[in-house]
Amino acid sequence: MAKLISGKEVSAKVRAEVKEECEALKAKGIRPGLAVIIVGDDPASRVYVNNKKKACAEVGFVSEEYALPEQTSQEELIALIGELNSKPEINGILCQLPLPKHLDEKAVINAISPMKDVDAFHPSNVGRIMIGDYHFLPCTPAGVMEMIKSEGIEVAGKNCVVIGRSNIVGKPMAMLLLHENGTVTICHSKTKNLKEVCAAADILVAAVGRPKFVTADMVKDGAVVLDVGINRDENGKLCGDVDFAAVEPKASYITPVPGGVGPMTIAMLMKNTLMAAKIQNEL
């Protein structure tokens, strides 16, 4: 029987720490501010944005929402980002992805000031993560690392396998495990012997976006299994990338879906915004 790593519990602890630090900043006349831009009315994006606003209220941040219509032009969006870049009371800027098809995601990410890029998607922040000299970490991989640390799981010298090579999760996840001296393999759609590679992992991170993709025969006895996926199964029920019922008896630690990595993402966003406020106020 695996021990469940609860994202609800770990994220509550992170948010409580952020709230405490926010109180200390307020005593100095500083209140961290996060601006969230949402273009169009994607229902999943709307849920995320509402959750971010709730988290800001909980920790004591100022939160501003910019809900733009679906047909917003590239120029209008870039102009808004320019305004927010120069607004001193806004420390973090987040543009909810995916954007409508006619907008250039890359140009939008590049327009956000690296010092306010609390998603850590700007190329200069990505480069800093690569060399291990960073201010911000992408929220989901940072949340996974926080969960690993919360259980005192040692990464150094372990075989770590990340399934998925996205810029948002897979690649930065591999870098963070590498910074902790893990021996890291990234698997993707072109990987040969995927099952064998995964079955050799001491720490397995699934970020592939396919329901119940990781089956019991892909998991080594006693492995630590971290499930980043949020999918719907054939019955429309929320599930992860890992076949939880089959894998849980083999693993030593496992994250559930929902209630695992999900809540960590927003908690780490709060941590990044706090860090941005400190840097911008030279603290």
Percentage of the chain surpassing pLDDT 90? 96
Neighbours of 69 (CB within 10 A): 10
Q: Above 90 in pLDDT, residue 148?
A: yes
Provide the CATH number for the domain around residue 86.
3.40.50.10860
The one catalytic residue in 19, 28, 87, 96 is: 96
Q: Is 96 a catalytic residue?
A: yes
| 119 is a catalytic site residue | yes
Short-list 265, 274, 191, 189, CA closest to 226: 265
Alpha carbon separation from 127 to 130, 186, 229 (Å, rounded): 5, 18, 25
Average pLDDT over residues 14-31: 97
- Model confidence pLDDT, tens digit, residues 167-177: 999 999 999 99
145 and 93 together in one domain: no
- Residue 227's H or E segment, with its range, is strand 224-227
pLDDT in tens, 178-222: 999 999 999 999 999 999 999 999 999 999 999 999 999 999 999
Taking each helix axis from N to C end, the angle separating 43-59 and 7-27, rounded to the nearest 10 degrees, works out to: 50
Q: What is the pLDDT of residue 261?
A: 97
Average pLDDT of 147-157?
Answer: 98
pLDDT recorded at residue 70: 97
Please report which helix (H) or strand (E) contains residue 225, including its range.
Answer: strand 224-227
> Which listed residue (116, 117, 119, 158) is catalytic?
119
Which pLDDT score, from 0 to 100, does residue 1 have? 86
Q: What is the pLDDT of residue 81?
A: 98
Say what the pLDDT of residue 110 is.
Answer: 98
176 and 230 both lie in a single domain: yes
Read off the pLDDT band of 44 (50, 70, 90).
confident
- pTM of the prediction? 0.95
> Considering its fold, how many domains does the chain have in total?
2
CB of 183 closer than 8 Å to CB of 157 = yes
Would 11 be classed as within a structural domain? no
Examine the residue annotation and report whether 71 is marked as an active-site residue of this protein. no
92 and 152 assigned to the same domain: no
Which of the residues 26, 41, 42, 52 is marked catalytic? 52
Domain limits at 44? 29-113
